[in-house]
Amino acid sequence: MIEDIYKDTQQRMDKTISVMRDNFSKIRTGRASTSLLDHVTVDYYGTEVPINQAANVSVEDARTITIQPWEKSMVSKIEKAIMGADLGLNPSTAGEVIRIVLPPLTEERRKDLVKVIRAEAEDARVAVRNVRRDANATVKELLNDKDISADDQHAAEAHIQKLTDQHVARIDSLLQDKEQEIMTV
Which of 86, 101, 116 is the C-terminal boundary of a domain? 101
Sign of the CA dihedral running 136, 138, 139, 144 = positive
**Same domain for 143 and 86:** no
Q: Can you give the pLDDT at residue 84?
A: 82
**Same domain for 113 and 130:** yes
**Same domain for 128 and 61:** no
Report the Cα 177 to chain-centroid distance in Å: 14
Q: Can you give the pLDDT at residue 28?
A: 67
What is the domain extent for residue 16? 2-26+106-183
Cα–Cα distance list, 26 to 36, 43, 146 (Å): 5, 21, 47
Distance, first Cα to last Cα, the chain: 51
Q: Can you give the pLDDT at residue 61?
A: 84
How many domains, in total, are found in the chain?
2
Mean predicted confidence (pLDDT) in 1-26:
90
For residue 109, pLDDT beyond 70: yes
**Same domain for 128 and 80:** no
- pLDDT (tens digit per residue) in 18-76: 999 888 877 766 677 777 787 788 988 888 888 888 889 998 887 888 999 988 888 88
Grouping H, G, I as helix, E, B as strand and the rest as coil, residue 142 is helix
Question: 184, 34, 38: which is closest to 105 by C-alpha?
Answer: 184
Between helix 2-25 and helix 150-183 the angle, nearest 10°, is 10
**Same domain for 123 and 92:** no
Give φ, ψ of 125 to 5 degrees: -60, -45
- pLDDT (tens digit per residue) in 128-178: 999 999 999 999 999 998 888 889 999 999 999 999 999 999 999 999 998
Cα–Cα distance list, 173 to 40, 121, 180 (Å): 28, 10, 11
**pLDDT band at residue 104 under the 50/70/90 scheme:** confident
Which of 51, 78, 101 is the C-terminal boundary of a domain? 101
Distance CA 57, CA 98 (A): 9
Q: Domain with 130 in it: what CATH number?
A: 1.10.132.20
